Amino acid sequence: MIDARQPAATDRLHGALVEILDRLAAEGYGFVTTTPSTHRRVASRLTRARRGDLRDIFGWGRAFEPEDLEPNLLAAMRAAHIVVDDEGLLRSSVRVSSLDGRLHLHSARNDAPDAVFLGPDSYRFVRFLNALMRDDGPCAAILDVGAGAGAGALALAARRPQARVVAGDVNRLALTFLTANAAHARLAVEIVEGPGPQAVNGMFDLIVANPPYVAGGDRRTYRDGGGPLGADLALDWVEAGLGRLRTGGRFALYTGSPIIEGRDLLRAELERLATGAGASLAYEELDPDVFGGMLSQQAYSQVERIAAVGAVLTR
């Protein structure tokens, strides 16, 4: 198992992770990450991986025999400390997912406090950013706040290769994955450890964020959005980020909003922040119903749905 208490990555660990991604890419590997419930259902259809099936091992996370995998790839996994024992078989402690034409390492399980998520929200986030990049707005300096495995930062670096792209996160394991994902993609991204927009000095033309937005979340870094309905972290990042934008700069936020009796509470708060900062707000509901299972929890007893939304605040 990767030890995130150590520096973000040693040269050997970093090299092994990049080698794994390079080898998977050379084999034409691809895997689209589903919701956890879909993943559990499909993964349980087989008790172990089929011999040589890379999607079984790195996508569905099925247990495998050592001889099921090409020896050099298994050696790279051992060098990266991502092989765990599972009742006499082996299992990968990371998953590899394809998104926007690139491979991304992330956590195989989402129940650890430092688990690095990548899932359907990541795909929606990147689509939101790709649509934003169709215009000619200024983008010399870009910051991805709470970048995780780097899906957003890498998408932006690919579309604005001349820009300075900075990715920040508080989670050292995320920085380890992000470093490897960027190196495999051959994209230049400055990686910074720290919370929120304040982790990086300077001013930016574009700040983007896909914060956690679930209430509670067992204090997991990529799940608990803060406050009674999971929106506090998003609002804190926007408020801090607006002061870090150059004239004409934009803060692009992808998140979830609790809807109560038809009222979008997050939109109202973003309108307040925009007015206070002299900014304009463009707001769109991207998916009307996400994380429906959360509505059975007490914190959501008055919530009728959680909508995935995209907001762009322009100074």
Distance CA 303, CA 296 (A): 10
Across the chain, mean pLDDT equals 92
- Given this model, what pLDDT does residue 177 score? 97
| Residue spans of beta strands (DSSP E) within 93-189 | 94-99, 102-107, 141-145, 164-169
pLDDT tens sequence across 196-241: 999 899 999 999 999 998 886 555 555 567 787 879 999 999 999 9
Strands 164-169 and 94-99: unpaired
Which two three-digit tokens encode residue 76?
A: 């790279």
Which two three-digit tokens encode residue 195?
A: 């919370």
Which two three-digit tokens encode residue 222?
A: 């990529």
Specify whether the CB–CB gap between 191 and 7 falls below 8 A: no
| H or E stretch covering 50 | none
Distance CA 126, CA 120 (A): 10
Show Cβ contacts of residue 125 under 8 Å, excluding neighbours closer than 6 positions. 151, 152, 210, 254
- Given this model, what pLDDT does residue 183 score? 97
pLDDT tens sequence across 288-300: 999 999 999 999 9
Give the CATH H-level superfamily of domain 117-314. Vaccinia Virus protein VP39 (3.40.50.150)
pLDDT tens sequence across 105-138: 999 988 888 999 999 999 999 999 999 999 877 7
Please name the residue that has the structure tokens 């997912």: 97
Specify whether the CB–CB gap between 97 and 86 falls below 8 A: no
- Given this model, what pLDDT does residue 3 score? 45
At 65, the pLDDT band (50, 70, 90 cuts) reads: very high
| Whether the model pTM is above 0.85 | yes
pLDDT tens sequence across 88-102: 999 999 999 999 999
Give 49's DSSP letter. P
CATH 3.40.50.150-classified regions of the chain: 117-314
2 bridge partner residues: none
pLDDT tens sequence across 260-282: 999 999 999 999 999 999 999 99
